[in-house]
Amino acid sequence: MTAGICEREIKMSKTVFKPGTMLNPVPAVMVSCGDDTVNNIITIAWTGIINSDPPITYVSVRKSRYSHDIIERTGEFVINLTTEKLAFAADYCGVRSGRDVDKFKEMKLTAAESKEVSCPSIEESPVNIECRVMEMKEYPTHDMFIAEIVSVSVDDSLMDETGKLCLDEAGLVAYNHGHYFALQKKEIGRFGYSVMKPKTRKRIEAEKRRNSGRKRRRR
């Protein structure tokens, strides 16, 4: 079966584009930053994980952005995951400049005190990832702020009774070629499922049924 799929993919007719930022989909996260004098939010799609231990992430910010100077000066920021309910605010924070508007005020968002960094988190976001800048790499259009993740806060409603994180219940969104899309809850697989043993697959299916029952009872 695998060989057949590969053969079909090889036979695809493809249009060749000039080199560009075609990597999609990507997360659309709301990055909060600030200090005692100013707070701001910038929506970022160019972010990801660089290292697991210690946990290191990055955000790439255009040099002209208002948040660029704030992050460079303070050395801190918070990555706030975006949900369907926050999609409108995320888009607004990506097209309006903090030089002109108070984004927290305009979008009626709450600047919550963070655990390990001085800049605020967004209370309405279900997951707040606090970051401390380790270094900044300069590139022609954007600068990459490489940062250590120093704290992660998760909404208690996303934790089940066994202590498992149910991130699929958060209603997260992704950004795909200029459009925002809700992530569907239908799971098509998990890490390692292509080589999973039948016994393990059976156990996981049983776990899914039990978890589904717990979720229905919680509702």
Contacts made by residues 152-157, CB under 8 angstroms, sequence distance 24+: 152/127, 152/128, 153/115, 153/121, 153/127, 153/128, 154/126, 154/127, 155/126, 155/127, 157/126
Task: Name, of 140-144, 180-184, 194-198, the range with top average pLDDT.
Answer: 140-144
Q: Is the pLDDT of residue 1 over 50?
A: no
Half-sphere exposure of 187 (CA within 13 A, CB side): 12
Examine the domain organization and report whether 103 and 194 are in the same domain. no
Examine the domain organization and report whether 175 and 138 are in the same domain. yes
Examine the domain organization and report whether 39 and 140 are in the same domain. yes
131 falls within a domain: yes
Domains contained in the chain, number: 2
Examine the domain organization and report whether 165 and 214 are in the same domain. no
Examine the domain organization and report whether 138 and 205 are in the same domain. no
Examine the domain organization and report whether 108 and 41 are in the same domain. yes
Examine the domain organization and report whether 124 and 195 are in the same domain. no
SS3 state at 118: coil
Q: How far apart are CA 208 and CA 171, in angstroms?
A: 19
pLDDT in tens, 56-101: 999 999 999 999 999 999 999 999 999 999 999 999 999 999 999 9
Predicted model pTM:
0.87
Examine the domain organization and report whether 176 and 71 are in the same domain. yes
Alpha-carbon distances of 111 from 96, 118, 122, 176, rounded to whole Å: 18, 11, 5, 28
35 lies in which domain range? 26-180
11 falls within a domain: no
pLDDT in tens, 17-63: 999 989 999 999 999 999 989 999 999 999 999 999 999 999 999 99
Examine the domain organization and report whether 118 and 203 are in the same domain. no
Examine the domain organization and report whether 135 and 202 are in the same domain. no
Examine the domain organization and report whether 199 and 176 are in the same domain. no
Largest CA distance in the chain: 60
Instruction: Return the bridge partners of 173, or none.
Output: 182
Q: How far apart are CA 139 and CA 16, in angstroms?
A: 25
pLDDT of 217 reads 47
Examine the domain organization and report whether 146 and 196 are in the same domain. no
User: Which positions ≥6 away from 148 have C-beta within 8 Å?
Assistant: 54, 55, 56, 131, 132, 134
